[in-house]
Amino acid sequence: MIVRLRSLTARWTAVVPVVAVVMLIFTWGRELPGALVALVTVLLAGAVLAAVHHAEVVAHRVGEPFGSLVLAVAVTIIEVALIVTLMLDGGDKSATLARDTVFAAVMITCNGVVGFSLLVASLRHKTAVFNPEGTGAALATVATLASLSLVLPTFTTSKPGPEFSPAQLTFAAISSLVLYGLFVTTQTVRHRDYFLPITRQGEVIRADDHAEAPSTRTAVASLALLATALVGVVGLAKGVSPTIESGVTAAGMPPAVVGVIIALLVLLPETIAAVRAARRDRVQTSLNLALGSAMASIGLTIPAVALASLWLSGPLVLGLGPLHMVLLALTIVVSSLTVVPGRATPLQGGVHMVLFAAYLELAVNP
């Protein structure tokens, strides 16, 4: 019976990503009627679940921290491609698109994903345990990247408005790539143990012993299907965005809410994978996914938009306003206090969830 269930799971997780991409091909750039929007939404949800399944297969084969890195980078690369495409098509109205998307990703991952994972793990296992060395290094990199790319443009004077001059934008792009490259090297080569899950006694868990690792052939197939599913997720999310935008406008909410909703959809695979890891008491894996996604979002998006700005005619606004800078500063302070002990209770998870709720509330009612 168990073998049959696994066979059924393998079949639908292989079929749904392909169907999602086929649907994307036929619906790309077209106005969707209500019935088709409902079908696209169902396929979008299926592609998300399939992406999580294949990410876990790859993660089990290559082990941590490579497994969480694969999902974070794969999602971010496709997300960056979507941002650049929308910026090229959007004209002046897309001036703040990169900023809003990156900031949404930071708030969703550092508060929503981290908070929910800590809450799930601590409620299920009394406390959530993780390695403060690796998590602290990831948080420091996210805080530096966010400050350099999203805060400094508000205060620079070389160009009017919250924009970087060409030289400043080049520096921010190179710095983002260098810091991200240094972090990946630290995470996967020089200090890999800092990013592996640990037991409650502080011992590193180098591999999960509860199941046999999949074969190389299975892992490669899952990697290909993961990429296919993520293309479907991001593309279909873009397809339903006009419907979401119409609904947001009809409800009288700010246009920035559309970006938040799309970011939530795009980051859903990582969120589900992080919560599943937290349920298994692998909180370090959850934090690797969350902070790694925030870091990749900044470290890859800023260089990409800097390159795209060479042929973009409109302005590129990266600087945050006072409201968002307060939320970012509070997130960094609270996250630092959460990371230092190396363990968390439901209180810490609740604090992060309240910050995430505050971000969503202020996005709707600024």
Tokens 């168990």 belong to which residue? 2
Q: What's the CATH superfamily of 2-364?
A: NCX, central ion-binding region (1.20.1420.30)
pLDDT of residue 333: 97
pLDDT of residue 34: 73
pLDDT of residue 127: 92
pLDDT tens across 178-236, in order?
Answer: 998 899 888 888 888 888 888 877 777 766 544 567 788 888 888 888 888 888 877 88
In 205-301, where do the E strands start and end? none
CA–CA distance, 205 with 208 (Å, rounded to integer): 7
Question: Which whole-number Å values give the CA distances from 165 to 1, 127, 152, in the listed order?
Answer: 63, 47, 12
Q: At residue 285, what is the residue type?
A: T
pTM confidence score: 0.82
Count of CB atoms situated within 10 Å of the CB of 128 = 27
Residue 112 DSSP class: I
Judge whether 106 and 295 are in contact, CB under 8 Å.
Answer: no
The residues, any chain, with a CB within 8 Å of residue 266's CB and separated by 6 or more, are 75, 79, 82, 233, 234, 237
Please report how the helices 97-107 and 322-339 are oriented relative to each other, as an axis angle in degrees rounded to 10.
30
pLDDT of residue 93: 60
Judge whether 195 and 183 are in contact, CB under 8 Å.
Answer: no
Look up residue 77 and give its two tokens. 């690369």
pLDDT of residue 90: 58
Residue 152 DSSP class: G
Look up residue 101 and give its two tokens. 């998307």
pLDDT of residue 5: 44
CA–CA distance, 104 with 248 (Å, rounded to integer): 17
- Ranges of the chain whose pLDDT falls below 50: 1-5, 209-210
Per DSSP bridges, beta strands 128-129 and 343-344 are antiparallel
Residue 317: helix, strand or coil by DSSP? coil
Q: CA-based Rg of the chain, rounded to a whole angstrom?
A: 20
Query: What is the signed CA dihedral for 257, 263, 265, 268, rounded to 10 degrees?
Result: -130
pLDDT of residue 68: 65
Phi, psi of 344, deg, nearest 5? -140, 150
CA–CA distance, 145 with 293 (Å, rounded to integer): 13
**Exposure class string for 329-344: b at 16+ Cβ within 10 A, else e:** eebbebbeebbeebbb
